[in-house]
Structure 1
Amino acid sequence: MSILIILILAIPSYFLSKWILKKLHLGNDKNRKLIALIPAIFLSLIIYFGLIYLWIFSVSYYPSNDFDKQEWETNIEERYKMSEDIMESKILIGKTKEEITALLGKDFYTYNQNHIAYGIGFVPGLFSMDPDVLDIYFENGKVTKVAQHQN
């Protein structure tokens, strides 16, 4: 399949290369056909890998929103959009578990007394098959670390 796509890209690349060579007065009509093959191959490969890169980027991109308590509570499947803001702003650091539940709600998973997690939905990505969680770690009853991982 990849070879077919590269060949499809190579055809217009070949004619473009041939036209550029003619405009630059490089080679004669006979050898210009052969010379045009080399840039056509490289150009089609560059276009092919560029398209793959753009596809991967578009699949793994998602917007990052500021934390909004009401949005957090009502739109559980899209909490991942706010998780980056929560981690970068460090708004949870130093808070107690009671303060965390007042801010984020009581729908968390308990791993142990020093680690809870909130479901944040499916973060868009190429190999994203499992829902992600926002991990909150406590030491001496206060939040010391906030992280995110796939469940």
Structure 2
Amino acid sequence: MSVIKVNTLCKIDEENPTPVKRQEIALNVTAVDPKADFQNFVLGIDDYQDCCEDFGSFSDDIPEQLFVKAIYSDEELTKEQAERLSLSDEEADAAMTFKLVDGDDKEYYFGVYNDHNGYYSHVVYENGKEIDYL
């Protein structure tokens, strides 16, 4: 697990900050203050369909503006969390999940998934850099 310390007021949306890359954005977190130590975090996945797969992104209902303490990677979803996020068992098993924690220690989950037959994969991007394949 890795932790990104944020500790600033952020704008939260699903906008693609690099529209030249075909990505479905799970979450884009941007500091409101341009002088804050933390500036931006974005999680995306390739946005194209191969043959036999179900891919996409998911997110709790996160306020558009929020004081964010930290973002955690490599989170595991419980069955109840997956159901709340409307993920099937297969999608939840094929997910890369992150957790955002706000100033009141409330937790919000988001991520990407690719449920496929083993022949296809999608690149997962964090801040525009390839971090994994699903």
TM-score (normalizing by structure 2) = 0.24
Structure whose alpha-carbon radius of gyration is higher: 1
| Greater per-residue strand proportion | 2
| Greater per-residue helix proportion | 1
Q: Which has the higher contact order (CA 8 A, sep 6+)?
A: 2
TM-score (normalizing by structure 1) = 0.22
